[in-house]
Amino acid sequence: MESQLKRFTFLQLSDVHLDSRFLSGRLGLSQSQRYERNNEMLLSLYRALEEAGNRRVDAILIPGDLFDADTITGPTINYLIESFSRLGDIPIIIAPGNRDYYSFASPYNPKVLQARGLPPWPDNVIVFDADEFKTIKHPLRDDVCFIGRAFQKNEVERRRLLNRPVALRTGAPLNFFVHHGFLEGYAGPDAEIADKYSAPFSVEELESQAFTYSALGHCHEFAEVYSSQGKLIGAYAGSFVGRSFEEAGPRLALFGTVIVGPSRIPECTVEPFEFDNRRIYVAGLDVSGLTEEVMSEEITLAIQDQGARTGDDIIYLHLEGSYPPEADKSAVVENFRDNYFHVRVADHTRPDYLSERFDERTTEGKFIEAMLEYKRRVEKGRADANLLDPSQAPDSVSGGTAEDALYYGLDALRRQRVDIRNVD
């Protein structure tokens, strides 16, 4: 019966990266677009907090990287303080990650806010400030405790922090772990990023702890964590807003519920929820042999197949293959730029110039012969030097670079213009 149940609800979000520079070279946003996206991040966060307030959740859990400590501005800090204040007595539990790390200069530090002339964090904001795990009681519920720690530098944490029991000694039946770290076996698109393997732990290590539920941050893709008995014991909400092409599709927060029935065994569930109105999508197409009209149709289908919405979303379009020289591929691509918030093209295509016969007596023919001979000499020289990988000796010319020069030259000779492409 409902009267016999104990219920705890929460909002979990992380990896928001407020005031991020958005300087990913692949994303290629303009300065005005970066400014707009940062404002949209604040609005998305406002919507999430408003929904949490409307639902009267029992807590808001933020396992790290709420902002980028090196770029966070005073107005954004003030916005956070005001937004958190509006939630009244709903506790907001923050475990600082490697990007919003807690230090003497951190905005989490009350003295820093005072020195900058900013108001203090409201009483409902609880920030872990120590390198070791600490336990904090829920200010309104005796049956709930939170366990967490803080990164104190923006650096990779090599220690396995969960390879021994985390001492709880809370006496509370519900213990929520709020943690910024890497789960071994996580397979999201960001798993291979160089500094991602930080504060590592395994499912077995997490399961061995006495946590009711673990709110996890640092990995940017939504992922649930299950025990060996198939029970949900934790989850990553993933990044809250898309900031790179490794963060494609919906970006999420989680609304969670823990119910304790007569058996006294907690049952956890999470509900993904999207607050950012803009998404990033990645689409690819081989344009080989396509006319302008067909190329345009195929690009449209490739983007639509990903679920992208015109006017709203950010598109990364990867093109490859060789197209007929008479096709104006650049014009086709330009037609898509006004249809979306931003379109970034990785152009690995080439006009199929060499499929045609050419007269060796003409300037064009002599140029082609000279460049093909140059390419052969370059490739032979690199092979003799055992530099078969194009990434080896990047300061020297590769066969691919010589071929790129050939096609750029033919662009100039035939079209009196050069289409800039992603070349070697």
DSSP for 42-108, please give it: HHHHHHHHHHHHHHT-SEEEE-S-SB-TTT--HHHHHHHHHHHHTTTT--EEE---SSS---TT-TT
Closest CA to 94 of 208, 158, 180, 182: 180
State which of 239, 274, 309 marks the end of a domain: 274
Residue 156 predicted with pLDDT over 50: yes
Contact 175, 145 (CB under 8 A): yes
| pLDDT computed for residue 28 by the predictor | 85
Both 346 and 198 in a single domain?
A: no
Residue 2 predicted with pLDDT over 50: no
| pLDDT computed for residue 422 by the predictor | 66
Distance separating alpha carbons of residues 260 and 264, to the nearest angstrom: 5
State which of 231, 246, 274 marks the end of a domain: 274
Question: Which CATH number is 108's domain given?
Answer: 3.60.21.10
| pLDDT computed for residue 394 by the predictor | 62
Both 306 and 363 in a single domain?
A: no
In total, how many domains does the chain have? 3
Token pair of 295 as six digits: 């190329």
Residue 25 predicted with pLDDT over 70: no
Both 62 and 87 in a single domain?
A: yes
Give tens-digit pLDDT for 348-392.
898 888 877 777 888 888 888 898 888 889 888 878 777 666 666
Give the residues across from 126 on adjacent strands. 93
pTM metric for this prediction: 0.89
| DSSP label of 154 | S
Distance separating alpha carbons of residues 288 and 215, to the nearest angstrom: 47
Give the residues across from 234 on adjacent strands. 214, 225
Both 290 and 419 in a single domain?
A: no
Contact 128, 134 (CB under 8 A): yes
Both 167 and 311 in a single domain?
A: no
Both 48 and 196 in a single domain?
A: yes
Both 323 and 373 in a single domain?
A: no
Expressed as residue numbers, the domain containing 399 is 357-424
Q: What is the mean pLDDT of residues 268-289?
A: 96
Distance separating alpha carbons of residues 424 and 421, to the nearest angstrom: 10
Closest CA to 299 of 340, 239, 355, 256: 340
* Least confident segment among 114-118, 308-312, 404-408: 404-408
State which of 331, 353, 375 marks the end of a domain: 353
Token pair of 125 as six digits: 């904001």
| pLDDT computed for residue 424 by the predictor | 44
Both 149 and 295 in a single domain?
A: no
Q: Chain-wide mean pLDDT for the chain?
A: 91
Query: Which has more pLDDT, 52 or 21?
Result: 52
Q: Binning pLDDT at 50, 70 and 90, where does residue 1 land? A: very low
Both 261 and 404 in a single domain?
A: no
